[in-house]
Structure 1
Amino acid sequence: MQLGRIKSATGTDFGIRGENGEPWKRIADLGMDISRTGEVISRWDEISDAYIRSDRGGELDVELLSPVVAPGKILAIGLNYMDHIRETNSHVPEQPVVFAKYSSSLNDPTGSILVDPHLTEQLDYEAELAVVIGTSARRLTQENALDAVFGYAVANDVSARDQQRRDSQLSRSKGMDTFCPIGPWITLADRVGDPQDLRISCSVNGEVRQDSSTDQMLFTVVDLLVHLSAGMTLEPGDVILTGTPHGVGTGRKPPEFLKDGDLVRCEVEGLGQLENRVKTDPSSCPPETVVRQVV
């Protein structure tokens, strides 16, 4: 099954469907009014039972929005593919590199990635496998970690590389508005199987830039769940972005960054794809408001 968030002439709501190509059934049409992804997940047994008992009529002509709404946490992992570590001349981490993206950075599967030229001149893409948590979990083990996963989606960890180098942390440069396209829906974990055996790719204007497999992760999904849950409780609707493979713009020779009008397509095998166009932010900061350095 798949969980999406859909918009059509009849309104906006979470939707459920069995497979690709089937019509979306609005959760509201199943008699439930839910506004947050975490609540949908917490009530999933009730929702899926109602869906199975319902007629399968629904809506085909819909716009897909971000299936992640109001997550408690968006945790992201840096330097988790060896080829990406090499292309960026980085040291191999001894444990996962963890940073946060913010809920205000969430973007729709076809939403515009807004770039403010006064804030960054080095906008970059990072195709990633996103893990969506399905149950409250702390101190998971290698044996039970995957039991905490509700499903998987495609994400793009958009990054401002010049700000990333300028700061002593990653969250601001990767947490700006629109910098986390995700979707196009959440595919339930039991429909995915092994999360370490999925092809992952990214293209810019039709040119393939990233083409790899999740089997190249330095720290597996299980490793990440165990590591993260050791010190914090993972809650339904929380999201983990698991890192990106080689081929990012900053690693190319010479570097190639995104510009206004570029179309970025990220895809993970069996999970769908994102298509986001880069646009100059119409509300760009006046140059004099941007702090360049402390004198």
Structure 2
Amino acid sequence: MHVVMTSAGIGRIEDGGVAVLDAPYPDPTAVIEATGSLDALAGAKVVRRVPLDDAGPGLLAPLARPRALWGVGLNYRSKAELTGRPVPDEPVLYLAASTSACAPGSAVRLPAAETAQMDYEAEIAVVIGRTLDRAAEREAWPAVAAITAANDMTARDVMKRTGAPVLAKSFPGFTPLGASLLGRDAIADPGAIGVRCRVGGELRQDSSSADMIFAIPELLARISRYAVLRPGDVVLTGTPAGTGQDRGDFLRPGDDVRVEVDGVLPLTVQVQA
């Protein structure tokens, strides 16, 4: 199942277009919270069909109100190697404010009074479909509802100054999510999901989940040892090498940032003064 949120309601991507659905849910998050997956949309009546190009400019956030936004600080070997940091024995976990989430195509304000180091982080985002409480790894992936693309933006100097990821990552719009959701059953291998980032059309990050230090099932299981993951929670799974921090080149007003995750529509945002 490949799902988007349009101004007319929930849509299924099929045959190169968007089938707008007559579904008893306000958005995909409500479907996941109520049923544990996106499968309930498979039999929904199609109200109308529109070309994907026509729907694209009007796509809304498929996860407009995530319950919780989890992240992991260092989860790609390429990032550890480039920065010379040791591979961690435990994931470095944090939460960001859910109010930082924004829709694909948004203009994200650079909070210049607080940061001169606004950075991009292309990430695979995992949406939880069933409760995970001290779960085993074998239980974690079956509890996933979908994946999507995320840009886990970070104010690097705020992080250094405060030591608080929640402050560095919670500015309005700093967690773009979307532009579509790909159901778990459509993902052949969670250990081979590609993720890329382009800034102004230039490829900056290019990797896959195969390079993760803690694979997605292990990461979810580890989080669930300390906190219960519930339907609708979103887990950002780390970013590969090539961020602005790595390059010494941070985002500026006017920059277009595009995150690509295999199987979902590209997530784009523009940095605004």
TM-score by length of 2: 0.91
Hey, what's the Cα distance between the residues in 1 that align with 2:133 and 2:223?
8
- Letter of the aligned partner of 1:3 in structure 2? V
TM-superposed CA distance for 1:213, in Å, is: 1.4
AA aligned to 1:101 is A
8 Å Cα contact 2:37/2:183 also seen in 1: no
Aligned to 1:4: 4
Aligned-pair CA distance for 1:49 = 5.0
**What is aligned with 1:277?**
270
Matched AA of 1:278: V
Could you tell me how far apart the structure 2 residues matched to 1:45 and 1:168 are? 35
- For 1:50 and 1:128, the matched residues in 2 are separated by 26
Matching residue of 1:58: 49
Q: Where do 1:50-89 residues align within 5 Å? A: 51-52=42-43, 54-55=45-46, 57-60=48-51, 61-62=54-55, 63-89=58-84
Question: What value does the CA root-mean-square deviation take over the aligned residues?
Answer: 2.0
Q: Which runs of 4+ in 1 moved over 4 A?
A: 44-51
Per-residue CA distance 1:130-180 (angstroms, 9 max, x = gap): 000001221211222111100100000111111111112211101111000
Match of residue 203 from structure 2: 208
Q: Which residue of 2 aligns with 1:129?
A: 124
1:262 to 2:246 alignment: no
Aligned mates of 1:250, 1:49 — CA distance in 2: 42
Aligned partner of 2:101 in structure 1 is 106
Q: What residue is the counterpart of 2:221 in the other structure?
A: 226
For residues 42 and 82 of structure 1, do their structure 2 counterparts lie closer, same or farther at Cα, with a shift above 3 Å needed? same
Uncovered stretches (5+) of structure 2, i.e. residues with no partner: none
Q: Are the equivalent residues in 2 in contact too, given 1:36–1:70 (CA < 8 A)?
A: no
In 1, distance between residues paired with 2:70 and 2:208?
A: 21
Q: Tell me the distance in 2 between the aligned counterparts of 1:20 and 1:213.
A: 27
Q: Distance in 2 between matches of 1:49 and 1:73?
A: 23
- Letter of the 2:5 partner, please give it: R
Counterpart code for 1:277? Q
Moved more, 233-242 or 40-49: 40-49
Query: Structure 1 length normalisation: TM-score?
Result: 0.85
Distance 1:269 1:20, change over 3 A: farther
8 A Cα contact 1:128 1:241, kept in partner: yes
User: Equivalent residue of 2:124, what SS?
Assistant: strand
Identical-residue share of aligned pairs (%): 35
Q: Note the residue ranges of structure 1 that are not aligned, 5 or more in a row.
A: 281-295
Q: Which residue of 2 aligns with 1:42?
A: 33
How far apart are the structure 1 equivalents of 2:117 and 2:38? Answer: 43
CA contact 1:100–1:175 (8 Å) conserved in 2: no
> Quick one: distance in 2 between partners of 1:229 and 1:34?
28
Kept in 2: contact 1:23–1:56 (CA 8 A): no
Q: Which residue of 2 aligns with 1:97?
A: 92
C-alpha change, 1:47 and 1:178, in structure 2 (3 Å) is closer
Quick one: distance in 1 between partners of 2:84 and 2:163? 17
Q: Which amino acid aligns with 1:84?
A: K
Say which SS state the counterpart of residue 94 (structure 1) adopts. Answer: coil
Q: 1:238 Cα shift?
A: 0.4
C-alpha contact (below 8 Å) 2:75/2:238 kept by paired residues = yes
**C-alpha separation in 1, matches of 2:4 and 2:190:** 20
On the 8 A contact 1:68/1:182 being kept in 2, the answer is yes
1:142–1:36 Cα change, 3 Å: closer
Structure 2 residue corresponding to 1:16, chosen from 4, 8, 11: 11
In the TM superposition, residue 3 of structure 1 has moved relative to its aligned partner by 2.7
**Structure 1 equivalent of residue 179 of structure 2:** 184
The aligned length equals: 269
